[in-house]
């Protein structure tokens, strides 16, 4: 059984016309710009209103142990790549997973900058195992603090100085 396009003497006109039309549309817009780029550049002044926010600081106080029913696990790892010295934070679950309200990460970098991030929730108004955030550290020693908020109460569960490390080269 043959289709109309397979009959002898029929030429595939539509694909050829379509190809010619696409080439024409690609070439025509380049012909409409005047010589020299067209027009004079105009500078539009923009108002920049940067209001300094409150300075981010390391949360005070010691690391505390949350009640066993509220226990949550946060994994903290450091990338050994000097081009991208990331510090990775991942939620790994725990008995307090369903009452956990917020995970706040604060990194005091060795260059003097302090960065604070909140791990975003991917579940329906709750944290799911694997929710994570990545903060750029330095190739020095950075202080890392994790504070979790459970039932309106803040618990500082992690406070460590994390030195940067590199992977040693393989032995000769």
In a domain, 151, yes or no: yes
In a domain, 153, yes or no: yes
Q: pTM above the 0.85 mark?
A: no
In a domain, 47, yes or no: no
First to last CA, the chain: 70
In a domain, 2, yes or no: no
Domain that includes residue 107, residue range: 68-162
CA distance 113 to 142: 10
**Torsions phi, psi for 78 (to 5 deg):** -125, 130
The per-residue DSSP string of 75-101 comes to: EEEE---SSS-EEEEEEEE-TTTTTEE
Q: Residue 41 has what pLDDT?
A: 41
pLDDT 10s digits, 127-158: 999 999 999 999 999 999 999 999 999 999 99
Give the number of residues written for the chain. Answer: 172
Series of mean pLDDT values for 10-residue runs along the chain (172 residues): 52 56 50 45 38 61 91 94 91 94 95 94 89 94 95 94 82 84
Q: Residue 58 has what pLDDT?
A: 75
In a domain, 141, yes or no: yes
CA distance 53 to 39: 41
In a domain, 100, yes or no: yes
> What is the domain count for the chain?
1
Strands 100-108 and 114-118: antiparallel
Give the CATH number for residue 140.
Answer: 2.60.40.10
């Amino acid at each position: 059984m043959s289709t109309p396009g397979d009959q002898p003497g029929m030429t595939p006109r539509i694909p050829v016309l379509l190809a010619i039309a696409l080439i024409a549309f690609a070439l025509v817009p380049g012909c409409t710009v005047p010589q020299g780029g067209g027009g004079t550049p105009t500078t539009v002044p923009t108002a920049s209103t940067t209001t300094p926010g409150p300075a981010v600081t390391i949360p005070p106080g010691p690391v505390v142990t949350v009640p066993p029913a509220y226990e949550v696990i946060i994994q903290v790892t450091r990338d050994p790549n000097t081009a991208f010295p990331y510090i990775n934070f991942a939620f790994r679950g725990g008995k307090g997973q369903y009452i956990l309200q917020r995970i706040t990460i604060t990194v005091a970098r060795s260059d003097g900058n302090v960065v604070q991030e909140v791990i975003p929730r991917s579940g329906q108004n709750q944290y799911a195992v694997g929710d994570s955030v990545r903060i750029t550290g330095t190739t020095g020693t950075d202080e890392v603090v994790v504070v979790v908020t459970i039932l309106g109460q803040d618990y500082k569960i992690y406070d460590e100085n994390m030195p940067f490390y590199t992977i040693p080269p393989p032995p000769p």
